[in-house]
């Protein structure tokens, strides 16, 4: 079974690339983030023509998540139970489903903007709600994983230059403590340390030179329970998908399971 996650940074302009990638990589399940459209506007038919069922959750111009599956799509939940709101509004940042006996959640964690910003406090509260959800899901006896754009680099070597992020989000102690809480709950990063590759970054800013010079970050993650991570036979960042004309600023992560 092949499971993947990808922040596509707007599904409509990225659709031709996504369809091509689905045909060539053939994941059984693909979690998407940053759709930037509504649930109703998700391009279901082109994806369905490749054999995928679709569960999407979008509320407008920003955010948006989805799960595509060839192995079933059951018990779909849109939004985290008890999740916080920002400026009095809910955001489409999480969707869960059971696919081929594996419970997956596609998540797009708030950016946080900068420490001290109300969005930063919202980010930490959102991660706490994700921790609560993980605790509930871990009680079930089945493979379970949270996949997506966490907007947090777990460790110093998950950014190209720590000094470049001084005073910024993504590397602060409270954000990393929130990720540690997920691990303490019973989830494990599918990229165990020491890292298999020197710098398996997943995000590179669009500014000139960042991608070819590998000035990136590892902020897209796959955290699974023992039943999930114990079945992993391979995992990699598909850096090739970041190349070419009109890419997302993120690369997909692909995880193969012995199922």
DSSP string, 84-145: --BTTB----EEEEEETTEEEEEEE-----STTSHHHHHHHHHHHHHHHHHHHHHTSSS-EE
CA dihedral 198, 202, 208, 213 (to 10 degrees): 10
CA 59 to CA 44: how far, in whole Å? 16
Tell me the C-alpha to C-alpha distance, in Å, between residue 52 and each of 22, 46, 99, 157, 218. Answer: 10, 9, 11, 36, 28
Is 198 labeled as ligand-binding? Answer: no
Q: Is 225 annotated as a binding residue?
A: no
Angle at which helices 173-185 and 118-138 cross, to 10°: 10
- Active-site annotation holder among 57, 189, 220, 250: 250
d(CA 54, CA 67): 6
Q: Does residue 57 carry a catalytic annotation?
A: no
Catalytic residue among 28, 149, 189, 220: 149
Residue 117 among known ligand-binding residues: no
> What gap in Å lies between CA 206 and CA 96, rounded to an integer?
30
Task: List the catalytic residue out of 28, 52, 57, 108.
Answer: 108
Active-site residue flag, 250: yes
In the 8-state DSSP scheme, what is residue 212?
T
Task: Give me the helices (H) in the chain, please.
Answer: 11-25, 44-48, 118-138, 173-185, 226-229
> Do the annotations mark residue 83 as ligand-binding?
no
Distance of CA 11 to the CA centre of its chain: 14
Which active-site residues does the annotation give? 108, 149, 250
Report the binding-site residues for Mg(2+): 7, 34, 149, 151, 249-250
Q: Per the annotation, where are the binding residues?
A: 7, 34, 149, 151, 249-250
């Amino acid at each position: 079974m092949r499971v993947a996650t990808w922040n596509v940074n707007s599904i409509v302009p990225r659709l031709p690339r996504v369809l091509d990638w689905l045909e060539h990589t053939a994941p059984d399940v693909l979690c998407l983030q940053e759709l930037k459209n509504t649930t109703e506007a998700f391009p279901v038919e082109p994806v369905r023509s490749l054999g995928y069922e679709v569960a999407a959750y979008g509320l407008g111009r920003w955010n948006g998540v989805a799960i595509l599956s060839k192995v079933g799509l059951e018990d779909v939940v849109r939004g985290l139970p008890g999740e916080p709101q920002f400026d009095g509004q809910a955001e489409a940042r999480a969707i869960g489903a059971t696919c081929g006996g594996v419970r997956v959640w596609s998540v797009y964690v708030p950016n946080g903007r900068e420490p001290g910003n109300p969005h930063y406090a919202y980010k930490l509260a959102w991660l706490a709600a994700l921790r609560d959800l993980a605790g509930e899901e871990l009680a079930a006896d089945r493979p379970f994983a949270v996949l997506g754009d966490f907007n947090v680099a777990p460790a110093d070597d998950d950014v190209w230059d720590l000094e470049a992020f001084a005073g910024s989000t993504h590397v602060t102690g409270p954000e990393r403590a929130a990720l540690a809480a997920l691990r303490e709950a019973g989830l494990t990063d599918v990229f165990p340390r020491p890292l298999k590759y020197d710098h398996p970054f997943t995000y590179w800013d669009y500014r000139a030179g960042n991608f070819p010079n590998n000035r990136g970050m590892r902020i897209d993650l796959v955290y699974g329970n023992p039943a999930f991570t114990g079945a992993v036979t391979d995992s990699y960042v598909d850096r090739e998908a970041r190349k070419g004309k009109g890419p997302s600023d993120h690369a997909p992560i692909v995880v193969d399971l012995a199922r």
